[in-house]
Amino acid sequence: MWKKYYFEYGEKTMKWIGAILLVSTTSWIGFDMSKKLTERPKQIRLLIQSLQMLETEMGYSQLTLQQTFQNISKKVPYPLDQFYERLAHKLSGIVIDFLTIWDEELSKFVQTSALKQTEHEVMKQFGRNLGQHTFLQQQKYIKLTIHHLQRELDDAMEERRKYEKMMKSLGVLIGLLIVLLLF
Amino acid sequence: MLIDATILFQIAGIGIITALIHTVLKQVGKEDIAQFVSLVGFIIVLVIVIHHLSDLFQQIKSVFLLQGL
């Protein structure tokens, strides 16, 4: 008698635990997506700031690229400082081709950040021109890259305003729907 | 006679949540996806209801001895 009761009780509890797990998972996915949307404009802004730093460092202190990257890495916050730090570290060894190092580190950085393919492409283009020209031309390229990133920033802000809340509520709601279907 | 009311609550819940998803998507401006979600919700409810209706018809059949149950 009590064994049957025990089984029924256990089954019900498992059902509820499963439901809670499902809802919390989908909610978490939703929150994660909305967090990515929030992070993207912030990180693009940081990227722009770091490029401006690069410009001033190039203009006034005339250090090598490696030292410049080292300096910048100390001034910017988390995901970006790793990028510049690794670049500086790699440039301190024997450098065969700067472009491959740049591309490699850039794709590593984009993977860990909330940035999208368009920003990746813009920064890749920027790497093609880094250290190839006189200061004045270099300055122009930095300005151009900042301009491109600015446009991406507007885009990201718009996207964030539109979809941030939607992702959160959709995550919870879809979890509830699945639970109801399986119940 | 006591019938199982779970099915009613389940269908009501699916309806409410589909309506909420529809509203959220419409506010964001994705009307087409919102329509699609409503349609999918409707189809899911329809499938559940048909499943139970077929049960009902089986019962009726067996009551009137149309089938050798």
Of A166, A176, A183, the CB nearest to B24: A166
Domain span at B40 = 6-63
ipTM: 0.77
Residue B27 belongs to a domain: yes
Of A162, A180, A183, the CB nearest to B28: A162
Predicted confidence band of residue A101 (pLDDT cuts 50, 70, 90)? confident
Q: In chain A, what are the domain boundaries?
A: 2-182
Looking at the complex, report in whole angstroms how far the Cα of residue B48 sits from the nearest Cα belonging to chain A: 10
Burial of B60 (0-12, 13-18, 19+ CB in 10 A): exposed
Residue A38's identity, in one-letter code, is T
Question: How many domains, chain B?
Answer: 1
pLDDT per residue as tens digits for the range B20-46? 999 999 988 889 999 999 999 999 999
Residue B1 belongs to a domain: no
Best interface-test mutation with A: which of B4, B8, B14, B24 has the largest number of A CBs within 10 A? Answer: B24
Residue B69 belongs to a domain: no
Task: Kindly tell me the sign of the dihedral angle through the C-alpha atoms of A89, A91, A96, A99.
Answer: positive
- Whole-prediction pTM: 0.76
Burial of A144 (0-12, 13-18, 19+ CB in 10 A): middle
Of B6, B24, B29, the CB nearest to A169: B24
